[in-house]
Chains A and B, each alone.
Chain A
């Protein structure tokens, strides 16, 4: 009995080691969205292209979409834009933009320079919808299913790796269900 007890510190050390090692690879700056499984929050905001047009959550009805939160002032948004262009043009992904805490002129300047991958762009100069979505740092990309329910949220740049390993499987699943 005593002999067995002598191994207790070793067992505890290995247990703690496994527990801590599991946490090592995780990126603590990425948080899971609490909105997963819930519908997109209510909003009524102008379209970026046309101030007369009011957009609401019905823009997400009918087709699985990416909701990409971007702004001209956000350096990483410049980085990921080329890949969003590729997704929209070559992969036929429907992307809805959320222009977050930006100004119309700078947003247009950005799109004129880099192209426009968005089917619709929601203009959110005060960041109210961004706040309701729990956006804490652009760029963020949400997967929204055809019923307007949030399926996934990715914080950071979308690139080929993120698309193939993370977003595409979620989209495939969202498409399969609806």
Chain B
């Protein structure tokens, strides 16, 4: 047991290289460029892996894609050009943000549709409840009948 702290220290020291696994290092002229690169690779999806972006993936194909993103950035390509070049090879699968077009409009609009739909349902429920409150609970005729019934009931109760 006394060795446990030493053992843990050794483990912690040894685990350093594991963090440094994605090893390639790219040079960027400006901080902004580097952030743009990080942004791009975090929005591109690895075609080989199930649901991992190319920033996190160690698959060889992800490395190739990162290289291509870097190469195109150095050539001065825009974000759209870079994403377009990869989509032309691997398909829309590699985009975590699908473009808005006829096929994806429902996908993009769904949160708005669901929110508006929810509001409409709530509004409908409230409106109905209000309308019911406004109505007099009983018409004069019904009220008279009800009182008559209640009176006869209490008569019976008295008799008992």
Task: Say yes or no for B89: interface residue by CB 8 A criterion.
Answer: yes
The number of chain A residues with a CB under 8 A from chain B is 16
Interface pair A134/B60, CB less than 8 Å apart: no
| Complex-state Cα separation, A11 to B92, whole angstroms | 32
Task: Say yes or no for A136: interface residue by CB 8 A criterion.
Answer: yes
Interface pair B50/A34, CB less than 8 Å apart: no
Contacts A31-B90, A31-B91, A34-B88 given; does A137 touch B50 at CB 8 Å: no
Q: What residues of chain A lie closer than 8 Å to B93, measured between beta carbons?
A: 31
Interface pair B89/A132, CB less than 8 Å apart: yes
Q: What residues of chain A lie closer than 8 Å to B48, measured between beta carbons?
A: 136-137
Fill in one digit per residue for A79-119: 1 if any B CB lies within 8 Å of its CB, else 0: 00000000000000000000001000000000000000000
Contacts A101-B60, A127-B64 given; does A134 touch B91 at CB 8 Å: yes
Task: Say yes or no for A52: interface residue by CB 8 A criterion.
Answer: no
Interface pair A34/B64, CB less than 8 Å apart: no
Interface pair B90/A137, CB less than 8 Å apart: no
Interface pair A136/B50, CB less than 8 Å apart: no
Task: Say yes or no for A28: interface residue by CB 8 A criterion.
Answer: yes
Interface pair B61/A34, CB less than 8 Å apart: no
Task: Say yes or no for A21: interface residue by CB 8 A criterion.
Answer: no
Q: Identify B87's interface contact among A34, A131, A133, CB under 8 A.
A: A34
A167, chain B: closest CB distance, angstroms: 20
Listed residue (B50, B59, B89) with the most chain A CB atoms within 10 angstroms of its CB: B89
Task: Say yes or no for B56: interface residue by CB 8 A criterion.
Answer: no
Interface pair A34/B91, CB less than 8 Å apart: yes
Task: Say yes or no for B33: interface residue by CB 8 A criterion.
Answer: no
Interface pair A131/B68, CB less than 8 Å apart: yes
Contacts A28-B50, A31-B47 given; does A134 touch B90 at CB 8 Å: yes
Fill in one digit per residue for B61-95: 1 if any A CB lies within 8 Å of its CB, else 0: 10010001000000000000000000111111100
Q: What residues of chain B lie closer than 8 Å to A133, measured between beta carbons?
A: 89
Task: Say yes or no for A165: interface residue by CB 8 A criterion.
Answer: no
Interface pair B89/A32, CB less than 8 Å apart: no
A133, chain B: closest CB distance, angstroms: 7
| Complex-state Cα separation, A132 to B64, whole angstroms | 11
| Complex-state Cα separation, A132 to B65, whole angstroms | 11
| Complex-state Cα separation, A136 to B63, whole angstroms | 11
Q: What residues of chain B lie closer than 8 Å to A28, measured between beta carbons?
A: 50
A177, chain B: closest CB distance, angstroms: 24
| Complex-state Cα separation, A104 to B68, whole angstroms | 25
Q: Identify A136's interface contact among B68, B88, B90, B92, CB under 8 A.
A: B90
**A–B complex contacts, Cβ < 8 Å, 5 sampled:** A34-B90, A133-B89, A134-B91, A136-B47, A136-B48
Q: B residues near A, CB below 8 A? A: 47-48, 50, 59-61, 64, 68, 87-93
Q: Given A101-B60, A134-B47, A137-B48, list of 9 further CB < 8 A pairs? A: A29-B50, A31-B47, A31-B91, A34-B88, A34-B91, A131-B64, A131-B68, A136-B61, A137-B61
Q: A residues near B, CB below 8 A? A: 28-29, 31-35, 101, 127, 131-137
Shortest Cβ-Cβ A-B pairs, 8 listed: A136-B47, A134-B89, A34-B91, A136-B48, A134-B90, A136-B61, A137-B48, A31-B93
